[in-house]
């Protein structure tokens, strides 16, 4: 089922996600619906906050992107990122392993807005899978960027929070417009 993606101004986007302690049918269904929703919206990632559910659950799939490379390393061995897509991650923890780089970023909750965002170029991720497996891997390129963007969402952080005051200022008119449209009815 395709879920509604909430946009900037919706309070769920600022909520820190609860950890997922146990995977039940509802979590499995939510993850499947989030994958379907991400694909329908042609995104490379989606966090539970973006469908109005503040949980530590996100999905990522960079396999359809050809012009922005990604790399993935599991147990010290290089793995084709496409082989592990889509990723469904629960309670992910991320630590940077390389210096920062700047790249363009968008967000399904900010339709029409793109911005240059500076983030570590590579990260180490620890997360749980739906099957309860503990996953540890290293990622770089677009995949590292997408993972950090989603991990931020799970903690109520948005990509515009990484902008310089100056860049934020120039986006303010668009953000104001979005924010008014994104508020839930009655709020």
Residues found near Zn ion in the complex (CB under 5 A): 107
Long-range pairs, 60-67, Cβ under 8 A, ≥24 = 60/85, 60/86, 60/87, 60/89, 60/143, 60/146, 60/147, 60/150, 61/35, 61/85, 61/86, 61/87, 62/142, 62/143, 62/146, 65/142
Least distance in angstroms from the C-beta of 108 to Zn ion? 6
Q: Which is nearer to Zn ion, 38 or 122 (CB)?
A: 38
Element (H, E) at 174: helix 165-182
**Nearest residue to 29 (alpha-carbon basis) of 6, 8, 9, 57:** 57
The DSSP letter of residue 183 is: S
Choosing from 4, 42, 150, 169, the catalytic residue is: 150
Tokens of 105: 């970023």
Least distance in angstroms from the C-beta of 158 to Zn ion? 7
Least distance in angstroms from the C-beta of 66 to Zn ion? 21
Q: Which is nearer to Zn ion, 41 or 74 (CB)?
A: 41
Least distance in angstroms from the C-beta of 136 to Zn ion? 24
Q: Which is nearer to Zn ion, 107 or 115 (CB)?
A: 107
Q: Which is nearer to Zn ion, 51 or 90 (CB)?
A: 51
Q: Is 169 a catalytic residue?
A: no
Tokens of 181: 């449209």
Residue nearest to Zn ion (CB): 107
- Residues serving a catalytic function are 150
């Amino acid at each position: 089922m395709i879920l509604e993606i909430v946009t900037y101004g919706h309070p769920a986007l600022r909520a820190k996600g609860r950890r997922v302690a146990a995977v039940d049918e509802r979590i499995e269904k939510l993850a499947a619906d989030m994958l379907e929703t991400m694909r329908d919206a042609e995104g490379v990632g989606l966090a539970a906050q973006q469908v109005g559910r503040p949980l530590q659950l996100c999905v990522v799939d960079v396999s359809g992107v050809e012009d922005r490379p990604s790399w993935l390393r599991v147990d010290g061995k290089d793995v084709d990122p496409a082989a592990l897509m889509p990723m469904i991650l629960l309670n992910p923890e991320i630590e940077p392993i390389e210096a920062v780089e700047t790249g363009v970023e968008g967000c399904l909750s900010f339709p029409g807005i793109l911005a240059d965002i500076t983030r570590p170029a590579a990260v180490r991720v620890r997360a749980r899978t739906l099957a309860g497996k503990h996953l540890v891997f290293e990622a770089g390129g677009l995949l590292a960027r997408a993972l950090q963007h989603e991990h931020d969402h799970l903690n109520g952080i948005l990509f515009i929070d990484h902008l310089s005051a100056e860049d934020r200022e120039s986006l303010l008119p668009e953000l104001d417009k979005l924010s008014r449209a994104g508020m839930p009815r009655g709020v």
